[in-house]
Copies of this chain bind each other. A is one copy, B any other.
Amino acid sequence: MTHVLPTVRNGVDSAQMFGTLDAIKANPELGAFEFRATNTWIDGAHNRATIQYFYGAGQEDHSRREPFTVDAGEPAILLGSDTGPNPAELLLSALAACLTTTLVYVATARKVQLSEVSSTLTGKMDVRGALGVSDEVRNGFTDISVHFDVKGDADDAKLRELVDRAQQRSAVYDMVTHGVPVAVTCST
């Protein structure tokens, strides 16, 4: 009898993962990606992002048959009609998603079987900045807190190490903590 080691852990194919890492190590230009979103204003605080194609691993990716859409809005108190999460809540969602996926990938590489990863994020904001009432407060969150609950077949120290490593490698955590240059142009 031949025993084949299972390569899928936490829903991630670790054989594919290590293959991908080896391919990018051998050909660093395969690491160049470009992600995109388009947004269309609908009415008031309601607008919708559409996400489908991207460039990566040396070519345009057309594997997504349908676009994803993300509707945004504001609650009544911020002059909207709750057509979706507000943009600041979407930023928290992006941060949570990135830390979580990074943690799951790191756990898979380190042979840790996870049974739970959940997180709660809060961001504090004085809206006098974004509403133009005060120049003395910033427009965005003053700070964000993230609390993870992580369970799996590893000891406490190893599980905590996964959370640390997720922070060290998460793309969105890097952007939200360090900032990114953004160039805005306009046609009228």
Contact = CB atoms under 8 A, between A and B. Distances in A.
Interface of A: 10-13, 16-17, 20-21, 24-25, 28, 31-41, 43-47, 49, 51, 54, 56-57, 61, 63-64, 68, 70, 72, 74-80, 82, 84-102, 104-106, 114, 116-134, 137-151, 156, 159-160, 163, 167, 169-188
B182 A176 contact: yes
What is the count of identical protomers in the complex? 2
Given A17-B79, A178-B140, A185-B146, A171 B128 contact: no
Given A20-B79, A75-B61, A128-B24, A93 B183 contact: no
21 contacts: A11-B46, A20-B131, A24-B127, A31-B137, A33-B126, A41-B114, A64-B82, A87-B172, A88-B94, A90-B90, A91-B91, A91-B95, A93-B94, A106-B132, A130-B169, A138-B178, A139-B171, A142-B181, A159-B188, A163-B184, A176-B176
